[in-house]
Amino acid sequence: MSMKNVFYKLILLIFTVLTGCEQNLTLDLPEGQEQLVVEGHIEQDAPPVLILTRTTPVFSAFNAEELAGNFVHNANIVVSTQGRDYTLQEVPSPAFSEAMRQAVSAQLSIPEQLLISGSGFVVYVYTSDELKGKLGETYKLRISHEGRTLTASTTIPQLNPIDSLWTVPHPDAAQDSLVTLYYRYNDPDTLGNSIRYFTKRNSEPYYPGYFTSVFNDELINGGTISFPLERGEPKGQAELDQDKYGYFGKGDTITVRWAAIDIAHFRFWSSLEAEQSNNGSPVGSPGAVQSNISGGYGIWGGYAVTYHTLVVQ
């Protein structure tokens, strides 16, 4: 994954949710009128991971130095759950613990080697060593910075794992080194179950599905489905290799990160990915992306994660 792709991942929300609240907005933001953008997650048995940045004008130039300048520092960020408040502390990536590196890499699709001291790349994360996510719990977020207040709430659902994984050979005999990954999923008989998935190939990071990484049970409630699962790809590529897109290779060790999410979390990623696909651009149209952040843009989302591994023979 190139440094360009890492930068794209971190500024994806800046560009795509510049107009991303649930109400309709316009693109005519006055020059200099910035908003705060949240990309925050919490999953079971892991600390919260939250990045806070500023929006920039859509048509302005953007480079690594400007990216570093868009991180918002010294914000007061509190997560509340079960009657207790946890104040998040800002930590630069060179100071991450091993557990934090793993959490940030898995949730933000950044290679772990870029999150160590001396990599030349720094990302600032708000987190807490005292807070670990729990299944079924609700987490309320409150951010205060320079007179602004942002709020959100998310729930970590119960686990909702895949039933099984298998592979099917490429239909073209000339491509016999490639396979399609299939999954079987038994949906609980309660409407509203939603999933976001990521795949990891060998030592790569976990990447979400390139065009779509989420689905819900609106059409399959209580049923069982067997369906292909496309290999995740890093965002921001100049172009995809159409001959290999979505496939895995013989000898690959595949790990699927399968995450149950609540409906607001689903709507954010579903609307964001739909806008990217519809426009052929990371810049969505006004008001189309459904953020759950009141007073800003972005997402505060819970994950109930299971991992499923298969070695392609």
| Predicted confidence (pLDDT) per residue in 203-247, tens digit | 999 999 999 999 999 999 999 999 999 999 987 676 788 889 999
Percent above pLDDT 70 for the chain: 82
Q: Give the pair of three-digit tokens for residue 75.
A: 């914000």
The pLDDT score that the predictor gives to residue 109 is: 87
Domain 164-260 = CATH 3.30.160: no
> Mean pLDDT over residues 150-162, rounded?
98
Q: What is the pLDDT of residues 234-285, one digit of tens each?
A: 876 767 888 899 999 999 999 999 999 999 999 999 999 998 877 655 444 5
What is the C-alpha radius of gyration for the chain, rounded to an integer number of angstroms?
A: 19
Q: Where are the domains of the chain?
A: 3-158+286-304, 164-260
Cβ contact 123:10 at 8 Å: yes
The pLDDT score that the predictor gives to residue 10 is: 46
Cβ contact 197:183 at 8 Å: no
The pLDDT score that the predictor gives to residue 67 is: 66
Residue that is written with structure tokens 């290799």 in the block: 241
Q: What is the pLDDT of residues 62-102, one digit of tens each?
A: 455 666 788 999 999 999 999 999 999 999 999 999 989 99
- Alpha carbon separation from 249 to 23, 198, 234 (Å, rounded): 44, 17, 17
Cβ contact 248:312 at 8 Å: yes
The more confident residue out of 242 and 185 is 185
Q: How many CB atoms lie within 10 A of CB 251?
A: 10
Q: How many CB atoms lie within 10 A of CB 102?
A: 14
Looking at the DSSP bridge assignments, the partners of residue 1 are none
Residue that is written with structure tokens 């013989």 in the block: 250
Sign of CA dihedral 125, 126, 128, 131: negative
> Mean pLDDT over residues 10-38, rounded?
49
Q: How many CB atoms lie within 10 A of CB 308?
A: 17
